[in-house]
Amino acid sequence: MMDKTFNPQDAETRIYEAWEASGAFQPVDDDNAEAFSIVIPPPNVTGRLHIGHALNNTLQDVLVRYKRMLGCSVLWQPGTDHAGIATQMVVERQLAEEGQMSRRDMGREAFIERVWEWKAESGGQIMTQLRRLGASCDWSRERFTLDEGLSKAVMKVFVQLYKEGLIYRGKRLVNWDPKFETAISDLEVENLEVDGFMWHFKYPLAGGRTYTYVEKDEDGNVVLEEERDYISIATTRPETMLGDGAVAVHPDDERYAPIVGALCEIPVGPKEQRRLIPIITDEYPDMNFGSGAVKITGAHDFNDYEVAKRNNIPLYRLMDVQAAMRADGPSYAECAAQAQAIAKGADLPSEAEVDAINLVPEDYRGLDRFEARKKIVAAISEEGLAVMTEDEQGNAIPLVEKKKIQQPFGDRSGVVIEPMLTDQWFADAATLAKDAIAAVEDGRTTFHPKTWEKTYFEWMRNIQPWCVSRQLWWGHRIPAWYDADGNVYVAESEDDAKAQAGGKALTQDEDVLDTWFSSALWPFSTLGWPDDTKEVKRFYPTSVLITAFDIIFFWVARMMMQGLHFMDEIPFKDVYIHALVRDEKGQKMSKSKGNVIDPLEIVEEYGADALRFTLAAQAGQGRDIRMSKERVEGYRNFGTKLWNAARFCEMNECVTPADFDPKSVTRTVNQWILSEAASTVKAINAGLDGYRFNDAAAAAYRFVWNVFCDWHLELAKPLLQGEDEAAKAETRATTAYVLDQALKMLHPFMPFVTEELWSQTGQRDTQLITASWPVLEGLDNAEATAEIGWLIDLITDIRRLRSELGLEPKDRYMVNVLGHDDVTSSWAQNYRAIICRLTGTHMSVLHPAQELSEMAEGGSAEFPASRCTIFIQLPSKELFESVKSSLQTKLKKLDGEIMRLEKKLGNEKFVANAPAEVVAEQREKLEDYASQKTKMGEALERLQGM
């Protein structure tokens, strides 16, 4: 005898190992089988399984198992990426904790060796954790972005793009992370609104020049007119004033028109060397914001950078790699003089020469940027060059607005990102994006839900050059070498580079590539490219990429660009974008909020199947999923329900004979459940084919619980326990057969419990994981569906009446059913026993000839139902009153419906315009209601007479 419940803790590991050992996770080697492939969006090698991974991988596994059972040759390609910053951070932290030398002290080679040791020991734990979920990846093909083969792909791609002019090196403004001392991508920057200040400073005009400053309101009335010898500038970052190259005003701004072209003085630094900068016009300043005039610091602000480029304004870098104020180079006096010459019209020197100019005065050199800010604000205020306002007491104070400001933070370091002018390698993303955009436009790749294509297009059409270099050690070192003169040689190997350089001594570029550079190649590099492998031929393009929307830019976009460029074909046909998992209150889960639900804890407590089913059932195509334990518990219960259904089958010796043909079944109940199973398979197929995981899960759930368990098993009991051996045999066979189909249908969602039941409920040729997906053709049976549907309605009606009338459950009451026609009369007759059993009543079947009034006189109340009338013998006279009120309530409801339908059908326009079948449907309904009303009325009348 089977246990009462499934014990996931005991079974899951055993089952998983059996699957893996059997080779079920590997694609079948059959050229006739359709290929189906998914590459896992590679998690960080430092990653731990969180609930988002659980959802992502559950959905992949559902599809993979479904396709495998359909007979496809399925490859689910697993692996991890090397996560440059994250991994380096983990290992550096570990070194610090162990009190060992720092990364820099131990040197590049030793450090990298150390990272590999870390990886061998504790990297890629998420791959083990995925096994707990039941993920059926082909582990024999696990890849890592720094593997030899994948690295070869990276080198090839870099060199080729360089040769094509799609990768270049240059000095550009990039997001600089001062903690990790590397450039990071736009996508790794999180813009947060924080409390900040807006300071207002006076930039005095050169030579004591003055002008009339006039401010007007919207109607053109003058509200302020005064002589000024300065221009007022608002800034949230005073420390960058040192690097100002100009002040810009809008060309339409009349307030400043008189001084455009003039020079003004930056009010910081030693008095003797105050720098003068020009007042220029540019479309960028917003006339209605602040004073309307903005300082231009091209080397430390992205907007300013653009303005500076347009207007040939020099870019003065003020900070070092740790975002401290520069302490290098010649004296401030010397540098300021150089800058002054440029402002006064000297030719703009080369980039490198400008970069060598350090405009940080000695007083501020080496200070942290925020320290420098404080000192600079204090100095300006002291000098009287702050714009003043009055406090509540009327005292003059510097104008400092408290303001919410957008500040960029590194998503890993958490420190404020500094726009920084540095030498970096860039990929020409705009060019690469063209094909990637076209491929989605013409439908070679389709997003599901389609609406995400808008997001994809939006980003791709405004894409910026992709900074691919990182100032890290852990990663693919950029295959570029320099000779003593700074000439660059890009080649796949040092030998090639040397050959190019004519044997000159070379040093390799210190930087590594962005991790995403290698991830972008994942859909083909994992298959063996650039080698011409059979996997590339068979499994590229992959079938679908499953990921969350926040990753569209990271993976989808980049894989599309590289896939199209190097394979000349899309990397995946479909992109399914799933929701984000939030907590039960809809909050994003985060460690700091303490609302993180650990999927492994859920697995521990409820089993992997429950977690998987919960995620799949909630994977509607919305934006997020709210996760709660109650929900998981509910689906755990569902697994138990299935378990007990199987246990019931076992107890009743249900097995499917080898020669069982479901089409030959003759008993209506059996025909009916086969028909229901067939329509359920259709619904699940439709759901999974359309990435409607929740629809598929709901169909399976409803079938197993509300159809098979609630009705089929109950209706089958008399047959299974009865004397009719032929009926018993057929029912046993059918029930076992249907249970098998249910196990198959549920297997993609709940692989463990279904596999366990599969092995416990019969002699099997194969594991369930490799069994064939149900094909239930020719089993639809409308007659059986109508008949059992009628029976179910009747039983439900009688149960409701018993409950409404408050009849004692332990007492058995006499119930009679009068069929309104020969068909229902015989149904009532045939199902007499089961109706009694499921309603807890005694029952006889009336013949139409019998007088209704006789029944009434016999103490029975009458209730019209579907195609029949139910009589219930009441134990007391008082109950007739509640029968009356029950009938009256129903009559009222009916009247309402009838009125609504009559009005509708009385509307000529409706009859004229609506499709004929809709009109006919409404007519039928009206007739049905009307006849019900008549019967109710008659029943009531008879009751009144008593």
Partner RNA sequence: GGGCGGUUAGCUCAGUUGGGAGAGCAUCUCGUUUACACCGAGAGGGUCGGGGGUUCGAGCCCCUCACCGCCCA
Residues that bind RNA (CB under 7 A): 4-5, 186-187, 191, 302-303, 406, 451, 454-455, 458, 462, 550, 582, 584-586, 588, 618, 620-626, 630-631, 634, 636-637, 639-641, 644-645, 647-648, 651, 690, 692, 694-695, 698, 705-706, 709-710, 713-714, 717, 796, 799-800, 803-804, 809-810, 840, 904, 907, 909-910, 913-915, 918, 921, 925
d(C-alpha 616, C-alpha 694), whole Å:
6
Query: Residue 563, SS3?
Result: helix
Q: Who's near 486: CB < 8 A, 6+ residues apart?
A: none
Nearer to RNA, 451 or 493 (CB): 451
* Strands, E assignment, 220-331: 222-228, 230-235, 246-249, 263-265, 276-281, 293-296
H/E segment holding residue 636: helix 629-651
Cα 913 from chain centre:
44
Q: Is 384 left (phi over 0), alpha (psi -120 to 50) or beta?
A: left
Task: Determine how β-strand 507-508 pairs with β-strand 480-482.
Answer: antiparallel
d(C-alpha 697, C-alpha 683), whole Å:
10
Least gap, CB of 101 to RNA (angstroms) = 37
Nearer to RNA, 28 or 551 (CB): 551
Least gap, CB of 889 to RNA (angstroms) = 9
Least gap, CB of 343 to RNA (angstroms) = 27
Task: Tell me which long-range contacts 17-21 makes (C-beta under 8 A, separation of at least 24).
Answer: 18/767, 19/136, 19/755, 19/767, 19/769, 20/139
Nearer to RNA, 396 or 651 (CB): 651
Single out the residue of 488, 492, 499, 497 nearest to residue 477, CA to CA: 492
Would you give the DSSP letter of residue 168? E
Phi and psi at 623, nearest 5°, equal: -95, -35
Nearer to RNA, 115 or 838 (CB): 838
Least gap, CB of 654 to RNA (angstroms) = 11
H/E segment holding residue 863: strand 860-865
8 Å CB contact between 410 and 192 = no
8 Å CB contact between 44 and 81 = yes
Phi and psi at 348, nearest 5°, equal: -70, 120
d(C-alpha 30, C-alpha 140), whole Å:
18
Least gap, CB of 621 to RNA (angstroms) = 6
Burial class for 550, CB neighbours closer than 10 Å (0-12, 13-18, 19+): exposed
3-state helix, strand, coil in the chain (%, to 5): 50, 20, 30
Which two three-digit tokens encode residue 436?
A: 């990637």
Nearer to RNA, 497 or 753 (CB): 753
Nearer to RNA, 261 or 915 (CB): 915
Nearer to RNA, 365 or 890 (CB): 890
C-alpha distances out from residue 849 to 254, 450, 866, 933, 938, Å: 102, 63, 19, 22, 17
* Strands, E assignment, 475-602: 480-482, 488-490, 507-508, 512-513, 542-548, 572-578, 580-582
Least gap, CB of 657 to RNA (angstroms) = 22
Handedness of CA 350, 351, 356, 361 (dihedral sign): positive
Least gap, CB of 798 to RNA (angstroms) = 9
8 Å CB contact between 323 and 418 = yes
Least gap, CB of 298 to RNA (angstroms) = 15
Nearer to RNA, 359 or 757 (CB): 757
Least gap, CB of 34 to RNA (angstroms) = 24
Nearer to RNA, 345 or 586 (CB): 586
Least gap, CB of 910 to RNA (angstroms) = 3
Least gap, CB of 906 to RNA (angstroms) = 10
Report the b/e string of 723-737 with b at 16+ CB within 10 A: eeeebbebbbbbbbb
Phi and psi at 760, nearest 5°, equal: -90, -15
Least gap, CB of 699 to RNA (angstroms) = 10
Least gap, CB of 890 to RNA (angstroms) = 10
Least gap, CB of 75 to RNA (angstroms) = 29
Nearer to RNA, 83 or 795 (CB): 795
8 Å CB contact between 37 and 542 = yes
Nearer to RNA, 502 or 586 (CB): 586
DSSP 715-742: HHHHHHHSS-HHHHHHHHHHHHHHHHHH
d(C-alpha 171, C-alpha 316), whole Å:
12
Nearer to RNA, 346 or 918 (CB): 918
At 301, which amino acid appears?
D
Least gap, CB of 586 to RNA (angstroms) = 5
Handedness of CA 24, 26, 28, 34 (dihedral sign): positive
Least gap, CB of 304 to RNA (angstroms) = 12
